[in-house]
């Protein structure tokens, strides 16, 4: 998706800003997925009952750090 986004011509400054924002969001989502895939859920007992809380905590942490 980023490659396709990069192939768009920069005719208008608004398009350039939109591309920059979308790129940042894609990278941020990628970072969240990396963290989620590598996360260990505390008090894991074989069920995903705490998974929503774990994902919310990871999202908060990534948002506090800021997207690149």
Task: State residue 20's pLDDT score.
Answer: 81
pTM passes above 0.75:
no
pLDDT digit string (tens) for 9-61? 767 788 778 888 888 888 888 888 888 777 665 655 555 556 677 777 777 77
Instruction: State residue 5's pLDDT score.
Output: 66
List the chain domain ranges. 2-65
Confidence grade of residue 68 (pLDDT, cut at 50, 70, 90) = very low
Q: Three-state secondary structure along the chain?
A: CHHHHHCCCCCCHHHHHHHHHHHHHHHHHHHHHHHHHHCCCCCCCCCCCCHHHHHHHHHHHHHHHCCC
């Amino acid at each position: 998706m980023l490659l396709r986004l990069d192939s768009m011509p920069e005719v208008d400054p608004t398009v350039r800003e939109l591309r920059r924002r979308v790129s940042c969001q894609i990278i941020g989502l990628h970072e969240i997925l990396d963290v989620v895939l590598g996360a260990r859920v505390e008090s894991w007992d074989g069920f995903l009952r705490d998974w929503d809380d774990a994902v919310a905590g990871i999202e908060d942490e990534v948002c506090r750090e800021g997207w690149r």
